[in-house]
Amino acid sequence: MFKKSRIKFSIAGERDFKLEEDVVYTGKTDTFTVPAGFVTDFASVPPAISWLIPSYGKYTLAAVVHDWLCVDLRRYYDQRKAGGDWFNYTAPYANARDTDAIFRRIMRELDVPFLRRWIMWTGVRWGAANNPARRAGLEKDLPLMLLWSMLSAPLVVPATIIVWIGLFIDRVFENIVGGYLR
């Protein structure tokens, strides 16, 4: 059995949460300690698909560790970009590709269902394409990313369109009826 700690947090913004205590996850091969005070948004899920994958769930601990590793990567990237002596750089715990693989592995260890963890991994890899600190190694995962994107599209795209239509109708209705109720 893997050791995991409970997550105690306070609200730090509209979608951000501040850890009130260290969060510790001990898996099969690694132990991660995310320090108290760290700010996370749990899983960074685009609103359009939050109906399928909410910001928190069985995978929340994996998402917190992933956020922490991504911040570590960003710090390293910023140090390197700023220049200076190479021996002053503090190497990140893992490179960008391994950071996302750790996220997927922790989800597996937390018994997140197969399809959900692969869809979430695909999402974080696509997110890496927009982040220079996490872009390295993306080309190696591109075939797998494209495969999982195509496999999940029949599930995600139609339902997302239905959700958008529902939100649009709700907004129109609110503007029409809301005007009479004010």
Model confidence pLDDT, tens digit, residues 16-71: 999 999 999 998 888 999 999 999 999 888 777 777 788 888 999 999 999 999 99
pTM: 0.78
Q: Give residue-wise pLDDT tens across range 61-111.
A: 999 999 999 998 888 888 877 776 656 667 788 888 999 999 999 999 999
Q: For the sheet with 3-4, list strands across it.
A: 3-4, 23-26, 31-34
Q: Distance (Å, rounded) from C-alpha 24 to C-alpha 88? A: 28
Q: Distance (Å, rounded) from C-alpha 33 to C-alpha 17? A: 17
Sign of the Cα pseudo-torsion (127, 128, 132, 138, in order):
negative
Q: Please, where are the H alpha helices in 58-113?
A: 60-82, 96-109
